[in-house]
Chain A
């Protein structure tokens, strides 16, 4: 079966002008994507994570034919993005510009029907599909009002609806829950999941880690144009747990601490006094795999274990470990 998305050594270099005062400028090259190779599987929700300026929008723009790559190749639903542009466009539903991709002087329904026409749906199919989307997104009350009168969240919902107008097998959603309140964001995520269950493949960019964690089957972490990590959320966490931290509480004598330190994969063990006992914090090079060895060393050296707490990792921890900073930091490539 053809992969919905496949890229091979995809690179993009921009020519930008750095302004130096009023009249002077300097031409510079910025590598926005560096040899990205990845494949998105049929029917998965694929998360694309990265801080601002990481290159994820550039990647999405190339995949949706808005930009031409400098080198490398990409295929969407089996069509080459530079050679079969219209076939690529017909097979993708996109939400890239948030609320800005709409005509504010038209009503929500008129917007949907206009874009339906641009996707070559005949008039009756346009009307039918628009009605389905209005019903799915519960836009009935506002569908016949001009978009300029919508709230920001309503505009985002309509923009999402616009991405569904051609009923494409692949959805590309760029931060679709931006400006949505929590219940609306949750509702939109559940619709994405529902569409995914119906067979649609989804590429989903977000900077909300919990969103990626709950929604995405696999995640790619991208920063400064490079693909830093790719896998399921669990795989990414497990890969990080090779350098895991475990907290052990109980009666822990000094020799137990020494015994733990003697285990080859233990990088650090620190014992601190606690009410009625001690807390041993152990940093290991092999994550949870070392737990049986730890327990054995402690019990053989006279320790009484009351509680073992391996530190739970989040996708945010994975992100920090891979990129060296939090996702909230603004790392615009232009300012690099």
Chain B
């Protein structure tokens, strides 16, 4: 009964977010175009910087299809971006709207409300990322469904779990420091750099490479690129790379939940969740 009631909360939270976004229809259209515009700049830069950008790119990345490479990078980044803005920023949004305290007055753990928000964010992100990837491929005249499409999807779906778990850590930070925009912006650029949206992390110095490999989105991006474009898995085979993502799945949700709960309690011990 309790589990069923909690899933009902999850669904209600999902539905509430969905209803809210339908009241901003223009935003949904923008979601699709932003990743294309994002990928457009490095693609044009590549074309402008040499006589044969595809050959130079292939030498460094393992694929000459730099257009699809950029589009995949910006589409996966859309998922990361959505996760941080929709879930981590969600707390701040509720706080500023004055509804966060109302959520702490109900007999449901916030994690179920967050889960509903995450589900909404995942679906919106997946829709936008896929639409942007397909539309971008049509615009730039590349085949979007080359390689192993199903394997690419598996990497995305498995990678979403640790990604959303990481947003809980970030949500906890926002709950504590009460500032979201700068933090999410900083994280956005940091993660986009480390996950290698426009370049392979193989070109990083060793220390940066280790840091990059600690981010689940890095494994997601490379997994999708390897499945679709054959750029090469970090451990040479897809199942070992996927196993690393599964390891993140086993660790990050519990860690994220633990940190979030501790921060929540600490905030309630002092100023409360409503203060911003």
Contacts and interface: CB of A to CB of B under 8 A. Distances in A.
A114 B9 CA distance: 9
A119 B272 contact: no
Interface string A288-323: 000000000000000000000000000000000000
Interface residues of A, number: 35
Interface string B239-276: 00000000000000000000000000100111111100
Interface in B1-34: 5, 8-9, 11-12, 16, 19-20, 23
Contacts of B19: 105-106, 110
B107 interface: yes
A96 B273 CA distance: 13
A118 interface: yes
Interface string A97-124: 1001111111000100111011110110
B272 A67 contact: yes
Contact of A101 (B5, B102, B268, B269): B102
Contact of B101 (A15, A97, A104): A97
B105 A96 contact: yes
Interface stretch (A84-92, A186-194, A209-217, A271-279): A84-92
A90 B16 contact: no
B99 interface: yes
B123 to A, nearest CB: 18
A118 B103 contact: yes
A89 B98 contact: no
B16 A66 contact: no
Contacts of B98: 97, 100-102
Interface in A192-230: none
Contacts of A15: 270
A189 to B, nearest CB: 23
B106 interface: yes
Interface residues of B, number: 30
Given A87-B107, A101-B102, A114 B16 contact: yes
Contacts of A146: 23
A162 B102 CA distance: 10
A163 B113 CA distance: 19
B274 A97 contact: yes
A162 B9 CA distance: 16
A105 B23 contact: yes
B271 A103 contact: no
A100 B107 CA distance: 20
B50 to A, nearest CB: 49
A14 B105 contact: no
A15 B16 CA distance: 36
A68 interface: yes
B108 A96 contact: no
Contact of A64 (B8, B105, B265): B105
A105 B93 CA distance: 13
A164 B109 CA distance: 20
A118 B104 contact: no
Nearest to A107: B19
B44 interface: no
B107 A119 contact: yes
Contacts of B103: 118
Nearest to B108: A118
A94 B16 contact: no
B268 A96 contact: no
A64 to B, nearest CB: 6
Contacts of A89: 105-107
B12 to A, nearest CB: 3
A299 B142 CA distance: 112
Nearest to A64: B105
A267 B264 CA distance: 57
Given A104-B97, A117-B9, A68 B268 contact: yes
A90 B9 contact: no
Given A65-B104, A97-B101, A103-B20, 18 more contacts: A66-B101, A66-B105, A67-B272, A68-B269, A86-B109, A94-B105, A100-B97, A102-B102, A105-B19, A106-B19, A110-B16, A117-B11, A118-B9, A118-B12, A118-B113, A120-B107, A122-B8, A123-B8
26 contacts: A15-B270, A65-B105, A68-B265, A86-B108, A87-B107, A89-B105, A90-B107, A92-B105, A94-B105, A96-B101, A97-B101, A97-B102, A100-B99, A101-B98, A102-B98, A105-B20, A110-B19, A114-B16, A117-B9, A117-B12, A118-B9, A118-B12, A118-B106, A119-B106, A120-B5, A162-B102
